[in-house]
Amino acid sequence: MEEFKILFDFNPNPMWVYDLNTLEFVEVNDTAVKLYGYSRGEFLKMKITDIRPPEEAERLLREIKEKRPDFKQAGEWKHHLKNGRVIDVEITSHTVSFLGRECAVVAAKDITGRKKAEKELQESNEKLKAALEELRQAQDQIIHQERLRALGSMASGIAHDFNNALSPILGYADFILSNPKKLEDKEKVKRAFEVIKISAQDAGKIVSRLREFYRRQESREEFKSVSLNEIVKEAVGLTEIRWKGQALVEGKTINLETSLGEIPEISGSPVELRELLVNLIFNAIDAMPEGGTIFILTKQQNEKILLEIKDTGEGMPDEVKLHCFEPFFTTKGEKGSGLGLSMVTGIVKHHSGAIDVKSEVGKGTIFSIQFPVILDKKADTRSKGEIKIKGELSFNILLVDDEPQILLLLEEFLTSVGHRVVTAQNGAEALEKFNSETFDLMIVDKAMPGISGEKLIERIKKGNSEVSIILLSGSFDVINGDKPLGVDLTLVKPVTQNDLLDAVQKVMSPAYSRRDW
């Protein structure tokens, strides 16, 4: 007992003993007297509930009732001091027999400072999270503007390419309609339609390239096997207006040469890799105000794929080379955002690659990028066009599009192979016809006035309909293979007959894996 008394009296933490039946203080040490502000005499006239807020007192009474006769406690509580201030304390409590009474001996520790620090840390973390989210949004917006700037620099070339593609379409169509007798010359008409088809495909490719370049990703897309050589060719085509057409307008000549080796595929995002190359090509163009040559090389080095972009431009001094990959660092003034090479670095890191730059003033610049090779890659044995429509299969199809010409064309595609087609020019008409009979398949345009394609699909799927659905879209935000909620397959316009019939056969195949709605 004497040892307990010594430990009790001289403990650096507040301690007290209270009666579990009356809740009155029986003993208290000097540390508790100093912390709580009551004298020892005042403590011995009080109950344990007097230093607790009402809700805390009720909690204590419940715990005493539930845990007796072996009452123990460990936890954090609120306590009142004599001056009215409320502090946080961490306590441990055990049942003891003291002076013939059933009591609880309590050791307490003032943790008010710690709790305050924890609260401040939590508030700081919340502020930091908010700041990081604002920074992410700002970064997304700047990257978006950077892409728009790149598109703006290519706008005249896009218009030029579209006019080139549309000219033979309009020209041959006008020629044949103005000279009906030419329809009798089947060979000439056939050649005209072949040119029209090729020109339309060229226009579609322009839109496809733009879609892939512009597409914003809300989240990182899954990597897939990518032919880096194909990405190089696409990037060269996308930027041709700047290094060729626009350069000639400015009175200079820029040549772009490629040396694409036999290389295996890499794992990556085609969108990001294309953006990387476009940025580096634009960077090379800007580095050659008097014209010059851009070389793009790919080759395999052991288990790495090397991509080099070299220009014969002005080169960079050491201090510029040292900072060129840093965000917002630019030597182009108002013409540059300073994000181009920073974006390139981010894309390289995302692909587990490495980037290096060599440059000398007056002798040009070389950007060298290494990507890892896909090891143990299993060959994809599937071939395009493997699924073909079978003449004996016929489905009841509801076709919905607000463009009469497209509706007529798609209806012709489908009925020519034996499908039964019901058409609707808007969502309301489609709902009315859908509710009047049973359909195997719906082919729906995404962008329609009134009830959009996606809203139409949502309403139909709410009725637990099992109808298969193909979504058509000409917008930038839908890519082949994406499947919005309720959709089995998406197709991007323009659509050929083979595209459409293959999609129908694929979706209606019993083996086709559908999404669980």
Q: Write down the pLDDT at residue 445.
A: 92
CB burial of residue 457 (10 Å; 0-12, 13-18, 19+): buried
CATH code of the domain occupying 224-372: 3.30.565.10
Coil vs helix vs strand at 324: coil
Nearest to 434 by CA among 463, 404, 395: 463
Q: Write down the pLDDT at residue 79.
A: 92
Structure tokens at 482: 């994406």
End-to-end CA distance of the chain: 72
Q: Rounded to an integer, what distance in angstroms lies between the CA atom of residue 321 and that of residue 56?
A: 65
Strand pairing report for 292-301 and 254-260? parallel
* Average pLDDT over every residue of 213-228: 65
Residues 405-442 pLDDT 10s: 888 888 988 998 899 999 999 999 999 999 999 999 99
Q: Rounded to an integer, what distance in angstroms lies between the CA atom of residue 447 and that of residue 457?
A: 12
Residue 110 exposure: Cα atoms within 13 Å on the Cβ side:
15
Coil vs helix vs strand at 124: helix
* Average pLDDT over every residue of 96-123: 90
DSSP 147: H
H or E element that contains 117: helix 112-178
Cα–Cα distances (Å) from 97 to 6, 45, 50, 100, in that order, read: 17, 20, 22, 6
Q: Write down the pLDDT at residue 390.
A: 41
Q: Is the dihedral of CA 401, 407, 409, 413 positive or negative?
A: positive
Which has the minimum average pLDDT: 112-126, 312-326, 372-386, 439-453? Answer: 372-386
Residue 177 exposure: Cα atoms within 13 Å on the Cβ side:
6
Q: Write down the pLDDT at residue 28.
A: 94
Q: Rounded to an integer, what distance in angstroms lies between the CA atom of residue 490 and that of residue 493?
A: 10
Q: Write down the pLDDT at residue 217.
A: 47
DSSP of 383-452:
-TT-----TT---EEEEE-S-HHHHHHHHHHHHTTT-EEEEESSHHHHHHHHTTS--SEEEEES--SSS-
Asked if pLDDT for residue 388 goes beyond 60, the answer is no
Crossing angle between the packed helical segments 270-286 and 340-350, to the nearest 10 degrees: 150
Structure tokens at 200: 């339309």
* Average pLDDT over every residue of 343-349: 84
Please report where in the chains the tokens 């041709």 appear, as a residue: 240
Q: Write down the pLDDT at residue 516.
A: 41
Which of the two residues, 494 and 26, has the higher pLDDT score?
26
Q: Indicate the pLDDT class of residue 201, thresholds 50, 70 and 90.
A: confident
Strand pairing report for 72-80 and 101-110? unpaired
Tell me phi and psi for residue 256, to 5 degrees: -125, 120
Preceding amide of 270 cis, omega within 30 = no
Phi-psi region of 316 (alpha: psi -120 to 50; beta: other; left: phi over 0): beta
Q: Are 285 and 229 in contact (CB under 8 A)?
A: no
Average pLDDT, the chain: 81
* Average pLDDT over every residue of 237-257: 82
Structure tokens at 205: 């490719």
Structure tokens at 177: 């309609």
Q: Indicate the pLDDT class of residue 9, thresholds 50, 70 and 90.
A: confident
Preceding amide of 404 cis, omega within 30 = no
Cα–Cα distances (Å) from 267 to 295, 348, 377, 381, in that order, read: 24, 12, 10, 18
Does domain 2-110 fall into CATH 3.30.450.20?
A: yes
Please state the domain extents for the chain. 2-110, 134-214, 224-372, 396-508
Q: Rounded to an integer, what distance in angstroms lies between the CA atom of residue 328 and that of residue 340?
A: 9
Q: Rounded to an integer, what distance in angstroms lies between the CA atom of residue 176 and that of residue 174?
A: 6
Q: Which class does domain 396-508 fall in?
A: alpha beta
* Average pLDDT over every residue of 57-68: 83
Q: Write down the pLDDT at residue 221.
A: 55
pTM for this model (two decimals): 0.43
Which of the two residues, 207 and 307, has the higher pLDDT score?
307
Q: Write down the pLDDT at residue 88.
A: 93
Q: Rounded to an integer, what distance in angstroms lies between the CA atom of residue 517 and that of residue 434?
A: 19
Amino acid occupying residue 215: R
Asked if pLDDT for residue 482 goes beyond 60, the answer is no
CB burial of residue 305 (10 Å; 0-12, 13-18, 19+): buried
Q: Are 42 and 24 in contact (CB under 8 A)?
A: no
Burial 109-137 (b: 16+ CB within 10 A, else e): ebbeeeeeeeeeeeeeeeeeeeeeeeeee
Tell me phi and psi for residue 108, to 5 degrees: -120, 160
Q: Rounded to an integer, what distance in angstroms lies between the CA atom of residue 177 and that of residue 156?
A: 31
Nearest to 479 by CA among 102, 210, 231: 210
Q: Write down the pLDDT at residue 383.
A: 37
Tell me phi and psi for residue 355, to 5 degrees: -130, 145
Strand pairing report for 468-473 and 441-445? parallel
Q: Write down the pLDDT at residue 483.
A: 61
Q: Rounded to an integer, what distance in angstroms lies between the CA atom of residue 179 and that of residue 131?
A: 68
* Average pLDDT over every residue of 186-207: 77
